[in-house]
Amino acid sequence: MKKPWLFNLALLLICVLCVQTSRAQGDNPFNLPKGALARIGKGAIGNGDRTLAYSSDGTRLAVASKVGIWLYDAHTSTEVALLTGHTDQVTSVAFAPDGKTIASASFDQTVRVWDVDTGQEKVTLQGHADGGPYLVTSVAFSPDGKTLAGGEIQGSTTADIVWTHAVRLWDVDTGQAKAAFKGHTDWITSVAFAPDGKTLASAARDQTVRVWDVNSGTLKNTLQGPHTSWVTSVAFAPDGKTIASTSG
């Protein structure tokens, strides 16, 4: 006599768990931490500050996920679009300064540029034709929106894979590679342009921040010493005279 009762109880618990799971990935007022306004993003969300990006006017929020790039109305937290095309986890997203274009990098070994209004892919960026393992971990637009920088990891095609690390620059309109700045000895985790667009900073797991001349590719400075672990993020002050970095 107890078996039907136990079966019904188990079925009820399963239904409750399913409802809670669906609510956890939707916009709802339940189960939110104190002070949180909404829960956004669906599918596996990547780690780090590079998986979220606001448009310059603050009206749109992009979220990198396993299923694509979610676009949200930043004021209402409602879904606006899902940009699909990547076939693996999206690792980094960035808005162009005018807010009309988004760049994304993924574990599928591609970097893509999207039209925000239409949700259509505009171009896939080139520069990794060697055939070995490849990943771009962070992307950032130049202040004029014409150049995209990315932290690049390239593996050789030999049996014993040799890894190289570089900051890659692309022409956003054509998708062609413009330059590669080499010097880091481990994964590049973050890249950022100075406000004037003439200088670029890159942070890496090698515990350094490197400062580059964008036009010549010359290494201007290597900042090291304070960090005792991976440098995870880098940013310029509005006047371009100060750089902030984090590690962990």
Q: Where do you find CATH 2.130.10.10 in the chain?
A: 42-247
Q: Which of 140, 119, 141, 36 is closest to 71 using CA atoms?
A: 119
pTM above 0.85, yes or no: no
| pLDDT (0 to 100) of residue 19 | 46
**What CATH homologous superfamily does 42-247 map to?**
YVTN repeat-like/Quinoprotein amine dehydrogenase (2.130.10.10)
| pLDDT (0 to 100) of residue 27 | 47
Residue 123: pLDDT over 90:
yes
Question: Mean pLDDT score of the chain, rounded to an integer?
Answer: 84
Residue 213: pLDDT over 70:
yes
Per residue in 171-203, pLDDT (tens digit) is: 999 999 999 999 999 999 999 999 999 999 999
Q: Which of 98, 48, 39, 88 is closest to 68 using CA atoms?
A: 88
| pLDDT (0 to 100) of residue 152 | 87
| pLDDT (0 to 100) of residue 24 | 44
Lowest mean pLDDT among 10-19, 102-111, 118-127, 171-180: 10-19
29 C-beta neighbours (distance < 10 Å), count = 10
Q: Average of pLDDT values for 128-152? A: 86
